[in-house]
Amino acid sequence: MTELEEIGININSIENTEQIISQLMDNYSDDVLHLVFSYVKNRTTAEDLTQEIFIKCYEKLDQFNNKSSIKTWLYRIAINHCKDYLGSWHYRKLNFSEKIWNYLPSKSKHVEEEIIAKDVANSLMSAVMDLPVKYREVVFLHYYEELSLANISKITGVNSNTLKTRLKHARELLKTKMKKEV
What's the average pLDDT block by block, 10 residues per block, for the chain (182 residues)? 50 67 90 91 90 91 84 92 81 54 51 52 71 88 85 90 93 84 62
For 166, counting Cβ atoms within 10 Å of its Cβ (0-12 exposed, 13-18 middle, 19+ buried), the class is buried
- 35 and 79 Cβ atoms separated by less than 8 Å: yes
- 72 and 155 Cβ atoms separated by less than 8 Å: yes
| Helix (H) and strand (E) counts in the chain | 10, 0
Q: Is CATH 2.60.40.10 correct for 113-181?
A: no
CATH topology assigned to domain 12-103:
Rna Polymerase Sigma Factor; Chain: A (1.10.1740)
Structure pTM?
0.58
Q: Give the integer Cα–Cα distance in Å for 147 and 126.
A: 21
